[in-house]
Amino acid sequence: MQNSMSYSESKSNRSKFDDMFSKESLLRALVIFIVSMLGYFIPNKFTFFQPHSVVLTWIDHAIPLIPWTIWIYVSYYAFIIAAYFFASGHKAEQQVYAGAMMLSAVIGCVIFIFFPTEIPRDLYPWLGRSDMHTKMLDAIREADRPVNCLPSMHVCMTFIAAVTYSITSRRTWAKALAWFWFVAICFSTMSTKQHYFVDVLAGFGLGVSCCALMLQRYRVPFAQVFSSTYTSNK
């Protein structure tokens, strides 16, 4: 009996692995990634209207530039990509992720084109630093012009990924870890001075809106985000 259960579990795990890295799954992931990147980098490289300056709050003044948090900031890419594959085998949850990511990318792109914002990076010079943290931050700043600030797509898409982990996993610790890392990435956007607090709020609002629409569309209960007993949809 025990051997039979072990075989069944092993077969289920192999099936999930096959679904995760099937050609169809990889193609969908590639499409989501391309749409998300194009939605950000096209208006980042080509500005059609005069950018507006981001409004600084007391929170922005209270958070100093912390170069080592650039590693938390760049962990965003692994976090959002892994969320898609984490939801493999759960059709509705993966559709929530895909739909929310692509919708937010399109909305973000429209905002970036017609209401561009910029961040005054000259307020935070390096002061002669040359360590590995600032070198990485230099590379990010060289590739990413100081526009496309509001909403923060880092915050928006990390929220979508955290929701995806939460609605897919029934383990409390996994949900807690996903939300802890969401908060850490939100903080890193401000501690690297890539974004300010108003950008974070706008990104959070966009992420919540897109997730709410997709949760409703694919009939995934909102309570599943926090529940540890709900049985995930297949």
Q: What angle do CA 60, 63, 68 make, to 5 degrees?
A: 125
- The model's confidence at residue 126, banded by pLDDT at 50, 70 and 90, is low
Which of 44-48, 144-148, 181-185, 230-234 ranks highest by mean pLDDT?
181-185
- The model's confidence at residue 70, banded by pLDDT at 50, 70 and 90, is very high
Beta strand pairing status for 117-118 and 52-53?
parallel
- The model's confidence at residue 74, banded by pLDDT at 50, 70 and 90, is very high
CA gap 188, 194 in Å, rounded: 8
Going from N- to C-terminal start, the domains of the chain cover: 28-225
Q: Give the pLDDT confidence score for residue 7 in this predicted structure.
A: 43
Q: In this prediction, what percent of the chain has a pLDDT beyond 90?
A: 47
- The model's confidence at residue 9, banded by pLDDT at 50, 70 and 90, is very low
Q: Tell me the residue type at 10.
A: S
CA gap 178, 128 in Å, rounded: 36
**Tens digits of residue pLDDT in 151-175:** 999 999 999 999 999 999 888 898 9
Q: Give the pLDDT confidence score for residue 227 in this predicted structure.
A: 67
Q: Give the pLDDT confidence score for residue 137 in this predicted structure.
A: 87
Is 1 a residue whose pLDDT tops 70? no
- The model's confidence at residue 26, banded by pLDDT at 50, 70 and 90, is confident
The overall average pLDDT reported for the chain is 84
- Cα 81 to Cα 101, 211, 228: the distances in Å are 11, 17, 23
**Tens digits of residue pLDDT in 192-208:** 999 999 999 999 999 99
| In contact, 154 and 187? CB cutoff 8 Å | no
Is 17 a residue whose pLDDT tops 80? no
Is 233 a residue whose pLDDT tops 70? no
